[in-house]
Structure 1
């Protein structure tokens, strides 16, 4: 996706830099870049200050894999994911009436940032994140009950960032970090 001209002067954040590095790694792994091209472009991404600076090293790369967005939905009943499952870059969870339980503690997380979009009518949602994850819930709108989350300091650097957005109707969202 090409940034709009007015966004080219905007400063690059850590999330955007991490996403650019991930795109380069994927392109290299799929054979779209030589080792030398990968090194050169990686240096450009790591020294980029603006979105315009990021445009050059990402130019001519294949578009991001559309399969990195998944939707899980149920009108009634439970939505449950646990154990070793692969977490997509963007996960949309839609439940009208029922419970949602996402356990990311043993999940395979390939992306530095994972966006989880919740659309829950009634019912509760519980998300267990890895011990070293950083969680953001600023984009979540709650109806009747507030979300329960106590941030913790990561025990080691480099954990994934989990951004939770969307809307909770009448239920409550509970987020906790895995113990190990």
Structure 2
């Protein structure tokens, strides 16, 4: 029996030649919009680059569109913030706190509240994983911030997205994933009581 020649090993494609994904295109678009808001590129150039980003086929083409811009602030080296609502619950904010690139909230039996209203956030996007479990999770974001809840499983407790559409330049996008569980997940802007408390206690310089 004549031995068969070995099959050639597949060619390793260089990183820049890899096909770009929808998420990678959107990330570049967000970086370009942030650069325009900071005055680094004008709006005519923004429109041109965004159009190129949305039609880019490879990662190299995307990289060329942001090569002359500072890298977006990275959360590398900073662990995610994990909150678990034990018997007494858990919360972060509304006082000043620095937002990492990822926040994980487990409602457990006491519930969790994540309040971004006075948070310091230098990121274009923050990934929030919320699991309502028994007592639920509440997320409060400032006016002008936007949320993407398309990746959220409402579960039995449901998802209430009470945020208003529209996003101000330079503000982060909260990308919400996870499950509502039994307790549900709510994402909203500050209510009247919270607004009164914020106005009566202005942040220190």
- The question of whether the paired residues in 1 share the 8 Å contact of 2:83 and 2:91 is answered with no
Q: Decide which of 81, 86, 92 is 1:71's aligned counterpart.
A: 81
Within a 5 Å distance, the mapping from 1:130-169 to structure 2 comes to: 130-154=142-166, 156-169=168-181
Q: In the aligned structure 2, how far is the partner of 1:156 from the partner of 1:17?
A: 15
User: Which residue does 1:32 correspond to in 2?
Assistant: none
Q: CA RMSD in A?
A: 3.6
Q: Is there any run of 5+ residues in structure 2 with no aligned partner, and where?
A: 1-13, 36-40, 196-205
- Give the structure with the higher percent strand: 1
Task: Report whether the alignment pairs 1:54 with 2:66.
Answer: no
How big is the shift at 1:164? 0.6
User: Which residue does 1:98 correspond to in 2?
Assistant: 110
Q: In the aligned structure 2, how far is the partner of 1:11 from the partner of 1:149?
A: 22
- The question of whether the paired residues in 2 share the 8 Å contact of 1:136 and 1:164 is answered with yes
User: Which residue does 1:7 correspond to in 2?
Assistant: 19
Task: Report whether the alignment pairs 1:81 with 2:89.
Answer: no
How big is the shift at 1:174? 1.5
How big is the shift at 1:95? 4.2
Q: In the aligned structure 2, how far is the partner of 1:11 from the partner of 1:120?
A: 26
Q: In the aligned structure 2, how far is the partner of 1:94 from the partner of 1:7?
A: 36
Q: Which moved more, 1:150-159 or 1:89-98?
A: 150-159
- The question of whether the paired residues in 2 share the 8 Å contact of 1:96 and 1:120 is answered with yes
Q: In the aligned structure 2, how far is the partner of 1:161 from the partner of 1:10?
A: 16
* Shift in CA distance, 147/55, structure 1 to aligned 2, threshold 3 Å: same
* Shift in CA distance, 81/154, structure 1 to aligned 2, threshold 3 Å: same
1:39-82 Cα offsets, whole Å, 9 max, x none, are 9xxx9xx8363232234539xx9xx5533441314362312001
* Shift in CA distance, 72/9, structure 1 to aligned 2, threshold 3 Å: closer
Q: In the aligned structure 1, how far is the partner of 2:126 from the partner of 2:86?
A: 25
How big is the shift at 1:125? 1.0
Aligned residues: 158
